[in-house]
Amino acid sequence: MLPLRILSRFAGKILNLTIPEKLRPKIYKAYAKNFGCNLDEMLDEDLTHYKSIAEFFYRRIKPEARPIDKKVDLVSPVDGRVLQFGEIINNEIEQVKGFTYSVESLLGYNGNSKKEKTIELSKEKIEKVIKSMQRQPSHMNMTHQKFLETYSIESSEVAEKIKERETNKYVRHHNKLYYCVLYLSPGDYHHFHSPTNWIIEKCRHFSGHLLSVSPKIVNLVHNLFTVNERIALLGRWKHGFFSMVPVGATNVGSVVLTIDDKLKTNMPYRKQSIKRRDKNYGVFVERSYDNGSPLLKGIPVHRGEELGGFQMGSTVVLVFEAPKNFKFNITPHQKINVGQPISEK
């Protein structure tokens, strides 16, 4: 019932206020001490260069501080803490013991979700996005065919044929569906990266509530991740369906998406295309990347590449298809960093 969206936007304005240069080191060091930030990891260690608390929140770190494990299929996309993970049974994800929410309500596939419109990005815009991504030299000139072959991913044509013959839209009969929920605290590095080599086919923006996603609130609020504002990135990887969902939260100024800088979150009601009187927070706007390549029908991303970030702490939910012998390499409440393994070798 609280006006959390308005309060979050107000907090965003406060956090973006310019701090006098001479006060910046003292304020940021106090913040770092309170929330456990490692200032030695910062790409730019000069604290006077960060004009506001928001800029400090969204600080970059040295690439060598987060080496990407290349021996596993799946790595952590964020610095954070493991909240939940496991197999999805009957398309239900366990939020906490006794609380579940459906894959459909999270990703927007069932009758309770309503697609307001689809925005088709042109081939030129998608090519521009791919060129602008911070890529290793070996990735920059990789052809689409080479990408599919290197990472054992099906072409769009093959993937469509498989979808037609399967009864479940998420998982094939010889696979299972899994999930992993990672929570970012205010002191964590706030950028999120690609957890695997995959193709992002579409993006769905759900403009919902901005409730807190702290572990205490997660234990109290049923369907929390399906009523909060979120961006669902949907696509495929070597084992089939793959999705990554950055979830907004109270005081998160916005969710930034590197591959689509036109997408804006935490907007005032009057600027949102979604009709608020509908009170259906399953309403979403879909952005399609089909025009990028007839072979891929999406944007190819490599494991470890930056995909965006939060302008404060929040949560990322992974939902993906994998073989029945897939095993996680994490434990509940474990602290984890970008690039560290989530799956076993």
Active site residue 155: no
Q: Which tokens in the block code for residue 217?
A: 């609130």
Q: Write out the H or E segment, with its range, that includes residue 203.
A: strand 198-206
Active site (annotated) includes residue 205? no
DSSP string, 51-97: -SHHHHHT--B-GGGS----SSS-B-SSSEEEEEEEE-BTTEEEEET
Instruction: Verify whether residue 193 is a known catalytic residue.
Output: yes
Residue with tokens 């403009």, as numbered in its chain = 207
Please state the length of the chain. 345
Residue of 79, 191, 212, 293 marked catalytic: 79
Cα 39 to Cα 26: distance, rounded to the nearest angstrom:
13
d(CA 312, CA 51): 16
Q: Please give, one letter per residue, the 3-state secondary structure of 298-315.
A: CEEECCCCEEEEECCCCE
Question: Of these residues, 139, 193, 205, 239, which one is catalytic?
Answer: 193
Whose structure tokens read 């695997």?
196
Q: Which residues are catalytic?
A: 79, 193, 314
